[in-house]
Amino acid sequence: MKQKSHSGLKKRLKIRKSGRAMFQKSAKKHLLSNKSKRQKGASPDGLPIFKGMLQDMRRLIPGKIKAQYESNTKKRKVVSAEKIVK
């Protein structure tokens, strides 16, 4: 059976064409007269989902969210001990 997308999460995320998922921070809908310009103006386009949240989001909305963060598995040069001593 086909897995359904989480309907609550679909309403809270905006998935860009590139596959990046963006979300809005809270506290921006009411009581705005008490908040500073910095608070109200911060990230008007939304924020990308955090690295720790990525795995959960991909499980809840299968096939929509692509990997946003590059892995740290870059090839490193191996330096022999002989070169360090010299």
Alpha-carbon distance of 41 to 26, in angstroms, equals 13
Residue 80 has what pLDDT?
Answer: 62
Residue 42 has what pLDDT?
Answer: 86
Regions of the chain short of the pLDDT cut 70: 69-86
**Rounded to 5, what percent of the chain is helix, strand, coil?**
35, 10, 55
Residue 72 has what pLDDT?
Answer: 55
- Using CA atoms, how far residue 29 sits from 2, 15, 32, 33, 68, in Å, is 36, 21, 7, 11, 28
Pick the CATH number of 7-68 from 1.20.1300, 1.10.3470, 4.10.410, 3.30.1540: 4.10.410
- Token readout for 10 is 């679909």
Q: In the chain, where do the E strands start and end? A: 13-15, 21-23, 47-48
Amino acid at residue number 8: G
Query: What pTM did the predictor assign?
Result: 0.62
Residue 37 has what pLDDT?
Answer: 93
